[in-house]
Structure 1
């Protein structure tokens, strides 16, 4: 691994060090439990409706791990929606505490909450450290109190909370060979979240948030009024080129961690990385206009990348 930047060391410290287990899941959710089957089907439905990329990438996993990955996504999506859609503070606090309780006890308090049932089961069966799930909840809740970030180091900490934690939890689902994989999972999470941030600049501004580091905006001579007006200037293009170049480098460096995963999980994680890189290409293709359009990679664009990705994974 290359020499680590300050933000990387800080995030590795946040991740901590948990015992690595190669134990198989405790039991199969298909073992005659109809309610649990329904819970996992609900999680899969949420994933397919909200993230075509995650749904397709997780589809490259064996059946039980695929269902667990989608339970993870449904948990993350549900918590995110609480922050974005629940208006009253007391209601938000109650619902976030409800999910903290589910994580801490690895059990759902209601058989009617299918997402909670699937997630509690996944937490238990795959030995996922509760620490990461609690960090995810706190990371998402940060949007309620912070809408600007001064430096990239500050932003990286946010990215860790809302995305690297997802990567670390995913690692327990797909399987990994040693704790050495942790820094790479963190780095991939930062890259994925930075891609989201670069894609959603216009939408985030309309929601009152600017995630782009202020220091770097100032360096390139960009003011908030430029973002508000959606100005695609030469300064903006140079700023976005820098952001995309750094994010691509993070994707490149994170590939070293893919070979530390269990073989059956490498293609799925590689696909997530590859699909999101395609979003960066789409931003470039449309002259860095992320103000009134949402960059994306088409279904055909994703599928067409899988054969070369498969060859890349086989060569690891």
Structure 2
């Protein structure tokens, strides 16, 4: 087995082991694009898991600093990590700006520096860095002819991240993080202590319905922005939209019971949604 194959296999295993819905959107891509997007996803997993799993924030910050030097090494032509070595192959085919990869690292660093967001504007910056930028990079890999597709990719990334935040409210709170804006908690009279202690209320349900409506609005906006000429090329993103909107509907149908459980779709259902969307788009 070649060294390149080893690097790609590492990324493939990272993507498959995560159980993420993103994995199902990769399955229908041609091999070069699948290799590139899998390497990108593995990069995101590396830096995200680092922040989530490293209990010492100073050590986590040092590791993120190392990833910044590794991104520089990637663009200088001498990467050392399996993920960046796999990404180096993608750089030969797709325009993936260095600053976008660094912005993803910046977004992960925000998790080390703040655990609350005063308003949606501040949360928007976080979502842009950890999700919209990924959408922009993915759009480059999938291909487009109309630059309006980048606006679609930006807003779709935001919609996906807002859905993640809704799904993971309880899990994030147990890590000491609350992504729901303070202004929204105050508007619906939901104390942060309710999230940290897993207490449900009618106010909490109304708060979450508001969050879900905001996410749905970004899904609607993104899909309306995608030019018809690029719809076929961007089918992998449309698969993600289908899976995540279905997940959001399930969470709402269950009454937003996200403080003590994690709603998810079965692998078979994700695969069915992926195949259905691919064939329809």
TM-score (norm 1): 0.82
Shift of 1:264: 5.2
- The one of 50, 56, 62 equivalent to 2:18 is 50
Alignment correspondent of 1:221: 189
Is the contact made by 1:103 and 1:120 (CA closer than 8 Å) also made in structure 2?
Answer: no
Aligned partner of 1:172 in structure 2 is: 140
Contact 2:142 2:233 in 1 (8 A): yes
Structure 1 CA distance for aligned equivalents of residues 200 and 51 of structure 2: 30
Q: Is residue 236–residue 278 contact of structure 2 (8 Å, CA) maintained in 1?
A: no
* Local SS of the residue matching 1:184: helix
What's the offset of the Cα at 1:129?
Answer: 0.8
SS across alignment from 1:196? helix
Name the counterpart of 1:141: 109
Aligned residue number for residue 210 of structure 2: 242
CA distance in 1, matches of 2:137, 2:219: 18
In the TM superposition, what is the alpha-carbon distance from 1:145 to its structure 2 partner? 0.4
User: Structure 1: any 5+ residue segments left out of the alignment?
Assistant: 1-32
Moved more, 275-284 or 301-310: 301-310
Structure 2 length-normalised TM: 0.92
Could you say which residue in structure 1 is the equivalent of 2:98?
Answer: 130
Gaps of 5+ in 2: none
Asked if the contact 2:144/2:234 (under 8 Å) is kept, the reply is no
CA RMSD in angstroms, aligned pairs only? 2.0
| Residue 82 (structure 1) shift | 2.1
Cross-structure match for 1:69: 37
Instruction: Give the whole-Å Cα distance in 1 for the aligned partners of 2:270 and 2:231.
Output: 21
Please name the residue that 2:131 is paired with. 163
Q: Secondary structure at the match of 2:234?
A: helix
CA distance in structure 2 between the aligned counterparts of 1:116 and 1:103, rounded to whole angstroms = 7
Offset at residue 252 of structure 1 (A): 1.4
Change (3 A) 1:193 1:137: same
Offset, 1:85: 2.4
Q: Are positions 1:100 and 2:68 aligned together?
A: yes
CA-to-partner distance for each residue in 1:250-282, whole Å, 9 max, x for gaps?
111111344467565322110011111122122
Q: CA deviation at 1:88?
A: 4.2
How far apart are 1:307 and its partner, in Å? 5.3
Count of paired positions: 279
Matched, 1:204 2:163: no
Query: In 2, distance between residues paired with 1:101 and 1:262?
Result: 35
Single out whichever of 177-186 and 160-169 deviates more from structure 2.
177-186
User: For 1:7-54, what per-residue CA distance to the aligned partner results, in whole angstroms no more than 9, with x for missing partners?
Assistant: xxxxxxxxxxxxxxxxxxxxxxxxxx9211211111011000113311
**Cα deviation per residue 1:114-151 (whole Å; 9 max; x = unaligned)?**
12211233234312111111111101111000100011
Counterpart of 1:268 in structure 2 is 236
Q: For structure 1, which segment, 235-244 or 85-94, has the greater mean C-alpha deviation from structure 2 after superposition?
A: 85-94
The whole-number CA distance in structure 2 between the counterparts of 1:261 and 1:49 is 34
- Change beyond 3 A, Cα 1:137–1:260: farther
Q: Match of 2:193, SS? A: helix
